[in-house]
Chains A and B, each alone.
Chain A
């Protein structure tokens, strides 16, 4: 149990376009989902925390208008990178937890390359 699916696994897009990444908890209901970003040879950095039905809470330095997060149901959260630029190229990873303080189960990640 506790499987998190992330789609797409890889996306290449032109500068200025928007990209949507989906994160689904397949066999459990996730009250809270998290979005991370990881640059090459670096550790994961938390971008935002989202609770179902509420606005996401963004970490300091993360632009909420650029990284739109929607957590419309207990099994789905989406991250939209708006007007992507080459500096947004990174490995984006989501995780889901059943409740506050519970174990986080991670997706396989989405590698975004912006040309």
Chain B
């Protein structure tokens, strides 16, 4: 599976937007970009996924670079409940390979 690179940690103020970056320079044409998040002592939760076009859902937006070598997860208005580890994962088949993710801390 192609590898992704994410910052180990990020901080954001409550009620402000958060942009979580992910680099995936070796992405293949059939790889989807998935984002999951994991709250402490819980299983991961699906956030969003996309292939080429930007995607929006009730939780977040996903901005995908034109060359697909990077993407950004956007939380439009962070709340304390958004504090979690966010994983950016490439998947061309059914498997998900989790990296170390970005630990997002929300400052009240």
Contacts and interface: CB of A to CB of B under 8 A. Distances in A.
Interface string A81-104: 000000000010111010011111
A97 to B, nearest CB: 7
A49 interface: yes
B45 to A, nearest CB: 7
Nearest to B46: A103
Closest 5 CB pairs of A and B: A106-B43, A44-B98, A43-B98, A93-B43, A109-B43
Label chain B's interface by main secondary structure. Answer: loop
Given A43-B100, A43-B101, A106 B44 contact: yes
Contacts of A107: 43
Interface stretch (B20-28, B75-83, B88-96): B88-96
Interface residues of B, number: 21
B7 to A, nearest CB: 15
A105 B93 contact: no
B17 interface: no
A46 B94 contact: no
A47 to B, nearest CB: 12
A13 interface: no
B91 to A, nearest CB: 8
Given A43-B100, A43-B101, A103-B49, A49 B43 contact: no
Interface of A: 4, 6, 32, 34, 36, 43-46, 49, 91, 93-95, 97, 100-109, 111
B74 to A, nearest CB: 19
Nearest to A109: B43
Given A43-B101, A106-B36, A109-B42, 15 more contacts: A6-B43, A36-B98, A43-B99, A44-B98, A46-B96, A95-B43, A100-B94, A101-B32, A101-B94, A103-B49, A105-B46, A106-B44, A106-B45, A106-B46, A108-B42
B102 to A, nearest CB: 12
